[in-house]
Amino acid sequence: MEGIALDAALVGEMQRRSAAPAAGIDFYTPSFKAYATSEISACGKNAWPAVSITGPDCKLQCDHCKGKILHNMIPARSPADLWHVAIRQIERGARGMLLSGGSNHRNEVEYDPYYATIRRIKDAFPQFRIALHTALADRDTAQCMEESGIDAAMMDVIGAQETITQVYHLKRSVDDFERTLENLVATRLKVVPHIVLGLHYGRLLGERQALEMVRRHTPAALVLVVAMPFYAPAHRPFAVPGSLEVGQFFLDARKALPDIPLLLGCARPAGQAKAEIDAYAVMAGLNGIAHPADGMVELAARLGRNARIASACCSMAVGGAWEYPPSPQPSPTRGEGVFRGRGE
């Protein structure tokens, strides 16, 4: 952690308000990208692939993404393709997959033709986990998702109308996002909403309203991510949210949702900013971090937090339990090759 700058006042506040020292923390290594640190060995290449039912296509072309995030996903443009992709990935050792796709102009992913195939996959391979990016969904759609047998439903919660209109280019309302969350939690699905910090061109605008929306509906867990505007257009550039502001939000979220698993997802700035953000996440008492920066396992150990490693999507961490087949990696204890920190 040498060279990273942490705010002493915020660190002190976290020390006073964070989770109990014995609380555990999970470090996730989903195989969306190559990943390894000095503390965590390379994650399973095929353990948790990402699949898009639209390939790289997305109608919205939001300013922070422009659909580029879909380009790295495995395309499955038909139900038959999805079945064959799932079979192929399972044969390669996959334990589960993230299923997503580009949105239409109403911020809906058109899964209707795929639900029967998802059910077929789950019936044939009940231990194979599927986390679905829902986008906006009405009550009937949420019911179809439940009946398909998915293991986790994920959606972005947006709390500012300006962000919906200007960044997403979308003619929907904040109420539509809250209604989707309400529709999903009304089912038996394990619902894991996401809040993107800095989504409004790098500014925190509606994130606290989004946090209040989540608090009202009590999902299984909440994932926080930080805007990475790699694909923002030159005429609408994004700033990078400051680590201090992000860390303060972590602490506020932990206070607002003391009984809900709170996770830091894959998306956040790289380099020094990532190290600072991850350190704040550990100290604020978040329950898990995907692709943690180097040094985080030892930081957790020095704070008395037991660490676990899993090659899985963090959205499967609902209820604080293992909701996926166990990782083949050894537990992060001395002498087993994964946990190499000194502070135990």
Q: What is the CATH number of the domain that holds 237?
A: 3.20.20.70
- 275 pLDDT band, cuts 50/70/90, is very high
Q: Is residue 331 a part of any domain in this protein?
A: no
Q: Which residue has the higher pLDDT, 62 or 139?
A: 139
pLDDT at 51 over 90: yes
Q: Check pLDDT > 60 for residue 124.
A: yes
Tell whether 276 is covered by a domain: yes
pLDDT at 119 over 70: yes
Quick one: pLDDT at residue 193?
97
Higher pLDDT, 232 or 270: 270
What mean pLDDT comes out for the span 198-219?
Answer: 96
**The pLDDT value given to residue 318:** 47
pLDDT at 215 over 80: yes
State the total domains in the chain: 1
Is residue 118 one of the residues assigned to a domain? yes
336 in a structural domain: no
Model confidence at 43, pLDDT cuts 50, 70, 90, reads: low
CA-to-CA distance for 162 and 63, rounded, in angstroms?
Answer: 13
Cα–Cα distances in Å, from 105 out to 60, 194, 227?
A: 6, 21, 22
> Is 177:193 a contact under the CB 8 Å cutoff?
no
Whether residue 343 is contained in a domain is answered as no
Over range 81-110, report the average pLDDT: 95
Cα 254 from Cα 343, distance rounded (Å): 25
The first and second tokens of residue 134, run together, are: 């829902």
Average pLDDT, the chain: 86
Quick one: pLDDT at residue 252? Answer: 96
Residues near 298 by Cβ (< 8 Å), separated by ≥ 6? 39, 341, 342, 343
Residue 30 has pLDDT above 70, yes or no: no
Q: Which residue has the higher pLDDT, 280 or 239?
A: 280
pLDDT band at 13 (very low <50, low <70, confident <90, very high): very high
Confidence label for 89 from pLDDT (cuts 50, 70 and 90) = very high
Least confident of 56-70, 83-97, 190-204: 56-70
Q: What is the mean pLDDT of residues 190-207?
A: 96
Do the domain assignments include residue 324? Answer: no
DSSP per-residue string spanning 58-93: -SS--TTTTTGGGGGSEE--SHHHHHHHHHHHHHTT
Q: Which of 15-29, 141-155, 177-191 has the lowest mean pLDDT?
A: 15-29
**For position 64, what pLDDT does the model report?**
82
CB contact set of 108 (below 8 Å; sequence gap of 6+): 135, 136, 137, 141
Listed residue (13, 25, 7) closest to 302, CA to CA: 25
Residue 296 near residue 289, CB atoms below 8 Å: yes
Domain that holds residue 218: 8-316
Residues of the chain above pLDDT 90, percent = 67
- Across the range 216-239, mean pLDDT stands at 85
Q: What is the pLDDT of residue 17?
A: 82
Q: Is residue 131 included in any domain, yes or no?
A: yes
d(CA 218, CA 94): 30
Q: What is the pLDDT of residue 319?
A: 40
Measured torsion, CA atoms of residues 277, 283, 285, 287, in degrees rounded to the nearest 10: 60
Integer Cα distance of 333 and 338 in angstroms: 8
At residue 246's C-alpha, the angle toward residues 242 and 201, to 5°, is 60
Residue 64 belongs to a domain: yes
pLDDT at residue 234, rounded to an integer: 72
Strand-strand pairing, 262-264 and 288-290: parallel
